Amino acid sequence: MLLGAATLVMLGAKGDGSASPKEKHFKNIRQLTFGGDNAEAYFSPDGKWLTFQSNNKKWGLECDQIFAMKIKGKKDSTFRPVQISTGDGRTTCSYFMPDKKHILYASTHIGGKMCPPADNLRKDGKYLWPIYDTYDIFVADLTGKITKQLTNSPGYDAEAVVSPKGDKILFTSTRGGDLDLWIMNIDGSNPVQITHELGYDGGAFFSANGEEIVFRSSRPKTEKEINDYKELLKQGLVAPTNMEIYTCKADGSNLKQVTQLGKANWAPYFHPSGKKIIFASNHASPRGYDFHLYMINRDGTGLEQITHESYFNAFAMFSPDGKKIVWSSNRNNNNTHDTNVFIADWVE
């Protein structure tokens, strides 16, 4: 789920989009979007396309909609990618299907054509995420025609990704009474709950072999934290200010906590080797909204800061061949609040 980049990033960032000298893992950085909040850009199985969400006002958008674009070719402020979502409601979390000809995404459009309200997103100084109960998961072709609705249960169904094996879809749902991870067949059949502890489990991805899962979770522990979490959830809200990174098997077994950094650690993705995890974190920021990419070993050791430019870097994903990385950042935004999609060669 998009972490409200425009809200979190209260200051613009200077720079030309090039890598900082400290960003030794990046080479040939290229900016792919130019305006608005653009995030959750994920590769197609062949690494030639990206699907992402944007609320770019220049495109006539009132809230996030889903787009797809070929990576190759010139990209500037005049470029508009192909819109995949209907334009009604609010959307999030798109991902290519195995055939490379269809994209799944979550949308509220069945619940109404208007964008659901995004107000009241602060309470007692906390930043809040809305969990719209009208989100369902759909599949559309590359012209935007919806070909299948995969979920139809009351409550939140979103944050869906596809296994590299091409047989399963992983998603977050409230159908069990809490925000847990579920897995279902590629056609939407046989949904099975795989996490069961109280807290918001989401933003999950499969490992390259489809055998494991990495995700971020808020796990309230004290009586006050538990009561606050449950009360907000009743209102369709969560406070994602304390999250850590976890891994487990694709069936939910062998659950392990990877990070113990404090604050918000989220948007994880497996390194091509499968031995490390890249993720976004503000644990080192005294201000709270300064998010950078970090990489860590599976056992929680060897923490390394990857980005050093701008105040917001998140949603990192490696290309299927492991040679490129895509992420969202507010570098090179001319002191606006814009968050754009960037791609770079990955250097080990």
Rounded to the nearest 10°, the torsion over CA 347, 286, 298, 167 is -80
Report the C-alpha gap between 50 and 137 in whole angstroms.
19
| Residues above pLDDT 70, as percent of the chain | 93
- Give residue-wise pLDDT tens across range 236-274: 999 988 999 999 999 999 999 999 999 999 999 999 999
Q: For residue 151, which of 93, 195, 113, 105 has the smallest C-alpha distance?
A: 105
**Does 168 score more than 70 pLDDT?**
yes
Token pair of 9 as six digits: 């990033």
As a whole number, mean pLDDT of residues 174-202 equals 98
Q: Tens digit of pLDDT for each residue in 18-65? A: 678 899 999 999 999 999 999 999 999 999 999 999 999 999 999 999
In the chain, what are the domains?
Answer: 40-315 (2.120.10.30)
Rounded Cα gap, residues 145 and 194, in angstroms: 31
What's the pLDDT at 107?
98
Mean per-residue pLDDT for 58-83? 96
Tell me how far apart the alpha carbons of residues 315 and 117 are, in angstroms, rounded to a whole number: 24
Burial class (CB in 10 A: 0-12, 13-18, 19+), 133: middle
Distance CA 329, CA 343 (A): 10
Q: What amino acid occupies position 295?
A: M
pLDDT at 20: 84
Query: Which phi and psi angles does 66 have, rounded to 5°?
Result: -95, 135
Q: What is the mean pLDDT of the chain?
A: 93
Q: Is the pLDDT of residue 138 over 60?
A: yes
Predicted confidence (pLDDT) at residue 92 exceeds the cutoff of 80: yes
- Quick check: 4 pLDDT over 70? no
Q: Does the pLDDT at position 153 exceed 70? A: yes
Query: Which is it for strands 129-130 and 38-43: parallel, antiparallel or unpaired?
Result: unpaired
- Tens-place pLDDT, residues 276-310: 999 999 999 987 679 999 999 999 999 999 999 99
Contact residues for 125 (Cβ-Cβ < 8 A; gap 6+):
none
**Nearest residue to 150 (alpha-carbon basis) of 163, 138, 164:** 138
Residue 122 binned pLDDT confidence (cut-offs 50, 70, 90): low
Burial class (CB in 10 A: 0-12, 13-18, 19+), 275: exposed
The answer to whether residues 207 and 186 touch, using CB atoms and an 8 Å cutoff, is: no
